[in-house]
Every structure is written in structure tokens, then in C-alpha cells.
Amino acid sequence: MNIAIILSGCGNCDGSELQETLSLMLAFDRRGWSYQCFAPEGAYNVFDHRTKKPTGEQRDLLQEASRIARGDILPLADLDISDYEVLAIPGGMGAARNLSNYATAGTAMTVRHDVEQAILDAYSQHKAIVAVCIAPMLLAKVLGPHHITLTLGHPCQASQDAEALGAIHQCCEVTQCCADEKNRIYTAPAYMVGTRISEIFAGSENLVAKLEECEL
């Protein structure tokens, strides 16, 4: 399979969560599947990952995301989802701050137009969609009217918000995943409930194994 991965920067406070992203990449690679990373271009607000507070600095999303992809990354504007079988969005607060404004707007959130379009294109072309940690909130906003089923882990404010947007929430433990086979949407809670990197890698492996079972 060929996977398009949308990144949102670099680091759990203001970008893509590295352990979640790398565990997905590893699970894909172990199966011999190929992936291409994409990220939007434009400035975002940087957080100090020690204090969890904004620094007042701004950086470019694509440049920062390229750190995770070892430079092998393309602008999101270049994504043609018809070239891929799967769209994957790792977690990290970049999904809630940079790909959307969920972190500040809650259920009044908006999703970046280019990210929203990628999700809509994948859904309309019957591609599989993978989202981890807080990233399923993007799917809840864009695809909620289709009453998709997803997980954000245990019942929490985010799960309530997802349901308010029309999605159906399924409770999952950290190593479990939620497979909405009808809509071809696969989600896992990762650090929404996890505390150890081993749990994150196990959860990603189980998620991708379920994707393999259902899609191949």
C-alpha cells in the first residue's frame, strides 16, 4: 500500500507527536508499504516543550515537519490523494493548533481548507483514513455528518465534542483501535490515554494490523 501522511510540525505541544508519528511509520514500513509525508506551508506559533507555554516565536510548518521526515516531504498543496490508498494523520497538538483551531475553539472549530479538502477527497474516493490521538477530531469535524465511528480513548471532553459534531465515539484502551469498516476509518487513542512509548508502538502496530486485515 501507498500512504500519504499529513504532518503538522514537529513536537507534541505544537506539531506532530514524534513517537506516535514514528510508530505509524515503522508499522507501515514493517509491511513493506511506502509512505510520503506532506505538510501545509505557513507560520505557526512555537511552544517550549519544557514549560508547555508559547515562546512568541513563529516557524514554518513544512520546514519543521521536514525534521521528522528527514527532509523527504512535500507541500500539502502537492497531494493528489488518487495516488494513494491511505491518508494518515498522526496526533500531537499540531492537529489541534495548526491543522485546525480545535485547541482554542472547541466544537466551533474550523479545519484548514487544504487539510479539509484532503480528508474529503480521501473519503469521496473511498480511501482508508487513519488518525491517531487528537487527530480524529479533524475527522469528526469534516465527516461528522456521515456519523463516522472513531475513538479518542476514554470518555473525555474531546469525545463529547466529537459526538456533538455528529461522530460516534467508541471507547478504547491505549493498545486498542477503532475500525469503522463501513466508512474505512481507523483510529487509535495513543497518548490520549497512554503513558509509555511501548504502549504507543503496540497501539500503532495493532491499528495498522487492523488496517491490513480490512483493506487487503
Instruction: Give the C-alpha separation, 104 to 96, whole Å.
Output: 8
The pLDDT tens digits of the residues spanning 146-205 come to 999 999 999 999 999 999 999 999 999 999 999 999 999 999 999 999 999 999 999 999
| Lookup result for grid cell 479518542 | 152
Q: What is the pLDDT of residue 216?
A: 84
Neighbours of 22 (CB within 10 A): 17
Active-site pick, 133, 172, 177, 178: 133
Contacts of 117 (CB under 8 A, 6+ apart): none
Q: What is the pLDDT of residue 52?
A: 85
The set of long-range contacts for 52-59, using a CB threshold of 8 Å and a minimum separation of 24, is 52/13, 59/9
Helix, strand, or coil here: 149? strand
Q: Which string of b and e fits 87-101 if b means at least 16 CB within 10 Å?
A: bbbbbbbbbbbbbbe
Is 15's pLDDT higher than 90?
yes
Is 209's pLDDT higher than 90?
yes
Q: Is 133 a catalytic residue?
A: yes
Contacts of 189 (CB under 8 A, 6+ apart): 132, 133, 151, 152, 153, 154, 172, 173, 174, 176, 203
Q: Kindly write down the DSSP assignment for every residue of 62-83, as one continuous string.
A: HHHHHHHTTT-EEEGGG--GGG
Share of the chain above pLDDT 70, in %: 100
Instruction: Give the C-alpha separation, 90 to 140, whole Å.
Output: 15
Q: The pTM is what?
A: 0.97
The pLDDT tens digits of the residues spanning 16-30 come to 999 999 999 999 999
